[in-house]
Structure formats: C-alpha cells, structure tokens
Amino acid sequence: MKVLFIIGNGFDLSHGLHTCYNDFKEYLYETDSVLYDLLKNKMSDFLWSNFEEDLGYLDFSDEISYYYREIEDGFDSYSAVNNMVVTLYECRKIMESMNYFVKKWIKTIDTSKAIKRKRFFDLIKNNECYFLSFNYTDTLEKKYNIRRVCHIHGNLKGKLILGHGEKYIHTKECNIKDYTDNYATFSELIEMQNNIDFIHNILKKDVYSLLKKIENFLSN
C-alpha cells in the first residue's frame, strides 16, 4: 500500500536529535558572535521558537537610532547619516551569512546517533512509503534506509531554504524616513531602504517554487 508521510522537526526531536532553533542559537553563540549579536534582541522569545517567522519582522531601528541621537545632540549630521548607511549595509552582509551558518550547524548534527523508533519502523516496513520532510537532516535515509524523500526546504546536498513567508509590511520594519528626514539625501534614503528590503527578500521563502517541488515529487 502506498502511504504518504509528512514530517517536521518533531520527528528529529523524537529521535533524540538537537534540531530546534534554540540549539542553533547556542551554536551561533559559540561560533559567530557577530550574527548572534545582531539576532539576539530581534527574536520574539528567548528560545528562538518562532525563528523563521521572526525573520519576516526584523527591526533595525536600534542600529540607526544611535546615530539619530547623535544628530539631536548636535553632532555632524552628514557623518551620522553616512554611518547609518554603512551600518545597514553591514547588517545586510551579516544577514547574508545566515544560510551558511545554518548549514554548518546542520552538519554538526550526527544523525547516525539518532534513536531508531521500532513503532515507526513497524509502521513503514510493509508499505510503499513516500515522505515530505520539512527537515534538513538525513535521519530517514540514514536510520531507515528510506529513499523516497522530498526535502521541501532542501538538505545538505544543496541549498537550504530558510526564512519567512511574510509580505513586506513597512509598519513592522524600522521607518528610515522617521530617523533621517531633513538630514539624509534622497539617494541615501533609497540606499538604506534598499538594504532593509534586500535583507527581507533574501530571508523570504519562494512558496511557489516549494509547492512546485512537492507537486513534481508526488507526480513521479
């Protein structure tokens, strides 16, 4: 009998693997303080349990408000605005490394040490099973020798699909104009907003492509 399974992170967790985003947070803390420091105050909870959803609502007002206060305190507005531009560009470059560090973290998860579940094995052993997996790991392949797996968000053999599915909601982002009105040139405003738009877009999932991937898997 053909059976379709849809599995998520609970599957790996039930096999004793440390695959929640709190584990990623701890990994980042130990390996890349720059990305960790940028993210730590932008998550909605301490455990980073809504990590991917939170990526759709990143607020960079803290990064630029410091320079706005400099302007209010009488410092040179030209230098302050230039520092805002540079800071947001640096944030962009840091966030571009996200996929790289998630992939490095996944590589540290040894799925050969996963605890094999007899009840699950008994469930699949006499059926023709297909799996839609939201996990990056190869637990199915390594522990159960399963080959009919569609890794919806990718795996270590290719690019990982990471991020949110939110539309760009300006009220949820830092409003650049609020901080720079009367100080920044139009081109500086555009450059700063472009950097924030870029961050939002590189962390956004292409939902249509993911649905097409599932469709192709199920039709074969």
pLDDT tens, position by position, 59-70: 888 887 777 777
Identity of the amino acid at 139: T
Cα–Cα dist 192/64, whole Å = 10
pLDDT of residue 99: 94
pLDDT tens, position by position, 67-107: 777 777 767 777 888 888 899 999 999 999 999 999 999 99
pLDDT of residue 172: 43
pLDDT surpassing 60 at residue 180: no
Cα–Cα dist 192/132, whole Å = 39
Which residues contact residue 135 at a Cβ distance below 8 angstroms, ignoring those fewer than 6 apart?
7, 8, 9, 11, 12, 19, 151, 153
Which residues contact residue 158 at a Cβ distance below 8 angstroms, ignoring those fewer than 6 apart?
none
State the pLDDT confidence band at 191, using cuts at 50, 70 and 90. Answer: confident
How many residues can be counted in the chain? Answer: 220
